[in-house]
Chains A and B, each alone.
Chain A
Amino acid sequence: GESVGLHLPTLSVQEGDNSIINCAYSNSASDYFIWYKQESGKGPQFIIDIRSNMDKRQGQRVTVLLNKTVKHLSLQIAATQPGDSAVYFCAENRGDYKLSFGAGTTVTVRA
């Protein structure tokens, strides 16, 4: 079936290094993608989004890349900090209001 999924369930990164979190999607009709960060006991927090007419978007310390040819999405976090430890979800909007989430990647930042 069609789904949004992350390549790796966990990622351990040294503080100060860059992090890259990957996500694959299967629905070529999807036109809007969002990255959320979820800390333990909290709701998902919006990080950055990208629409299908773009291939790159930058925010503060974060960059999202979209490769529609291979249906791949990535989130890059520059100079990873302890506060970046969380579960990261990519979500896909297939042209309507429903978001379809992957299972998430747990990022652990080592001091």
Chain B
Amino acid sequence: GAGVSQTPSNKVTEKGKYVELRCDPISGHTALYWYRQSLGQGPEFLIYFQGTGAADDSGLPNDRFFAVRPEGSVSTLKIQRTERGDSAVYLCASSSDSQETQYFGPGTRLLVL
């Protein structure tokens, strides 16, 4: 069956630009998570959705970051006024519920020049 998919796989942008990163979770998974992974580090939690609502956005670094999941399936992570420090791999994961195994997508590699 299909796993978690993310688009684009790579994104290069200029400082100050706006970017959107998309995540398609495993079909039927109600829980969706965004993580950020810097080079040489483990993933760090950003935000968690249960259904359509963001149940916990405490990991978002600042108000330039925002995520939505309007229909409880696909999610979009939005970054405004990108900075060079935003360069990282952005990972999406989904699970059948919040206490079950999280399955990760391939990630979007964001480079801010």
**Interface positions of A (Cβ within 8 A of B):** 4, 32, 34, 36, 41-46, 49, 89, 91, 93, 96-104
Contact = CB atoms under 8 A, between A and B. Distances in A.
A101 B44 contact: yes
A89 B37 CA distance: 12
Nearest to A32: B99
Interface of B: 4, 6, 31, 33, 35, 40-45, 48, 55-56, 59, 91, 98-99, 101-107
B45 A98 contact: yes
Contact of A97 (B4, B44, B56): B56
A103 B48 CA distance: 21
Contact of A89 (B42, B48, B101, B105): B42
Given A97-B31, A98-B48, A98-B56, A44 B43 contact: yes
B42 A101 contact: yes
A101 B91 CA distance: 13
